[in-house]
Structure 1
Amino acid sequence: MPISPPDTPDDEIPVRTAYRAWAAIYDDNENRTRDLDAACLASAGLPLKGAKIVEFGAGTGKNTAYLARHAASVVAIDISPEMLAKARARRLGDHVTFLEHDISRDWPLAAGSADIVIGNLVLEHVRDLLPVMAQAARTLRPGGRLYLSELHPCRQLAGSQARFDQADGSTVRVEAYYHGVSDYLAAAEATGFSLLGLEEPIETGARVSAETPPRLLVLNLVKRV
């Protein structure tokens, strides 16, 4: 019998609204999920040198800065203008383009224009995976790579989701949707991807147990030729 996700809390804030408030403190807050995600991307062994990259869920540009040091070009997409303003302030170079866009809608990018598409900690906020995966597939050239790093579904089932504390001590919970491992794999298969690798990282020093499941789900995928 499938495991059901927890009920959606009543105090969730819509994504665009939440990240408007979070942008000012996102880079400075303690965030083990964000930091582990960055470490995983840096050690992923993706063929970044000279690549044309599309990054969705770019946020304040912490991963964009890493990608920009290696790639020929980066298109960094995010739904939040406030987060993108922080990313632009990094002045990463003329080969980096920032695009405010809802990734669940058709991407304003040419078909086959990217060598690698990268998504980090964003699909938790998307109700339906298929439109996003389909746009990633359309944007990639045949044989192109898709790298996804997301909050692990087991963490979601335990009640974890993107959240942050405000100056008044209140906690903001960002609108989130549950996707199981099988949901990611089914969406990938349906949109023309093959699985190259699956990892379930946990931060260094943490003891793996039922109380501390993997923090991330990382998928390496390739667009079938």
Structure 2
Amino acid sequence: MKEHVKETFNLLAHIYEHNVDTTSLYNIEYERPSMLKQLPEDLTNKKVLDAGCAAGWYTDQLIKRGANVVATDISQEMVAATKRRVGSFAEVVCLDLETTAMPFESNSFDIIVSSLTLHYVKEWTQTFREFQRILKPKGVLLFSVHHPFMDIKMSKNKDYFSTELIIDKWEKAGKEIEVPFYRRPIHSILNETMHHFTIEHVMEPQPTINFKLQAEENYEKLMKNPHFLIIRAINKDE
């Protein structure tokens, strides 16, 4: 599975770097506005981990807000794309979020941002344990994932309460690309988070008016069928 994810996002890196930031309404007019509202405009002197940076859009936004940023991705091609985007303004490393020990000191980050990444991780326990370790006391974990309401529609067995491997198919640049991810029920998402953190806010984002102006039919679908879930949580460690 991990190798499949790496291969998939190595293939998608060029598309993310050159197209997603300007053409994907689901990113630019749906998920990202809601995520950014949960972050301070001024991140000066804050150390932030962009966990699952893809081609570095969030990395760049965090830098522009004054943060000291470390960005990671499992895909070497995504790491290369992020380095091209931000140059020496962030530390960018190739990292598997399911690793037993992240190469960061304990209590070293003020914020961890993880955008549409954790549904590619099968087991969250070790990942969240490491997130908790490297976050400062009262540090913030902000992450977005697929909404279970959307994912269950792609399930073959329709067993809502299971954690299930789904193979989605994306049409990108005239090609059909298989994208594997894990579907999980909402109680699993919330309980795993609460085991390590205190949940402060749960959001089911809504598309912007700009989304509606450009794709009204899809806008109406999203207003009735949420695609993403956003959680802001605080580190329990004192």
- State the TM-score, normalizing by the size of structure 1: 0.84
Q: Deviations over 1:79-133 (max 9, x none)?
A: 0110111111113543x10010100012111110000011111111111111111
The equivalent residue for 2:6 is 16
SS of the residue corresponding to residue 49 of structure 1 reads coil
Among 148, 152, 172, which residue is 2:147 paired with? 152
TM-aligned CA deviation for residue 151 of structure 1: 1.7
Among 60, 66, 69, which residue is 2:61 paired with? 66
The equivalent residue for 1:215 is 227
Alignment CA distance shift 1:117-1:161 (3 Å): farther
Residue 44 (1) aligns with residue 34 (2): no
- Report the Cα distance in structure 1 between the residues aligned to 2:152 and 2:25, rounded to whole angstroms: 18
The equivalent residue for 1:98 is 92
Residue 165 (1) aligns with residue 171 (2): yes
* Residues 55 and 64, structure 1, Cα contact 8 Å, conserved in 2: yes
Alignment CA distance shift 1:24-1:208 (3 Å): closer
- Report the Cα distance in structure 2 between the residues aligned to 1:84 and 1:200, rounded to whole angstroms: 29
- Report the Cα distance in structure 1 between the residues aligned to 2:9 and 2:56, rounded to whole angstroms: 14
Alignment CA distance shift 1:166-1:217 (3 Å): closer
Residue 190 (1) aligns with residue 195 (2): yes
- Regions of 4+ moved over 6 Å: none
Letter in 1 for 2:37: S
* Residues 53 and 71, structure 2, Cα contact 8 Å, conserved in 1: yes
Among 94, 105, 111, which residue is 1:110 paired with? 105
What do you get for the CA RMSD once the two structures are aligned?
2.3
Alignment CA distance shift 1:43-1:52 (3 Å): same
- Report the Cα distance in structure 2 between the residues aligned to 1:162 and 1:56, rounded to whole angstroms: 22
SS of the residue corresponding to residue 60 of structure 1 reads coil
Moved more, 44-53 or 101-110: 44-53
TM-aligned CA deviation for residue 182 of structure 1: 1.3
- Report the Cα distance in structure 2 between the residues aligned to 1:93 and 1:73, rounded to whole angstroms: 11
- Report the Cα distance in structure 1 between the residues aligned to 2:67 and 2:118, rounded to whole angstroms: 26
Q: Note the residue ranges of structure 1 that are not aligned, 5 or more in a row.
A: 1-12
- Report the Cα distance in structure 1 between the residues aligned to 2:144 and 2:167, rounded to whole angstroms: 14
- Report the Cα distance in structure 1 between the residues aligned to 2:167 and 2:180, rounded to whole angstroms: 8
* Residues 52 and 71, structure 1, Cα contact 8 Å, conserved in 2: no
- Report the Cα distance in structure 2 between the residues aligned to 1:162 and 1:146, rounded to whole angstroms: 27
Alignment CA distance shift 1:208-1:22 (3 Å): closer
Letter in 1 for 2:204: E
Letter in 2 for 1:16: K
Percent identity, aligned pairs only? 23
* Residues 148 and 184, structure 2, Cα contact 8 Å, conserved in 1: yes
* Residues 15 and 175, structure 1, Cα contact 8 Å, conserved in 2: yes
SS of the residue corresponding to residue 16 of structure 2 reads coil
SS of the residue corresponding to residue 233 of structure 2 reads strand
SS of the residue corresponding to residue 157 of structure 1 reads helix
Point out the structure with the larger helix share: 2
* Residues 114 and 143, structure 2, Cα contact 8 Å, conserved in 1: yes
TM-aligned CA deviation for residue 31 of structure 1: 2.7
The equivalent residue for 1:32 is 25
Letter in 2 for 1:203: P
- State the TM-score, normalizing by the size of structure 2: 0.80
Moved more, 133-142 or 172-181: 172-181
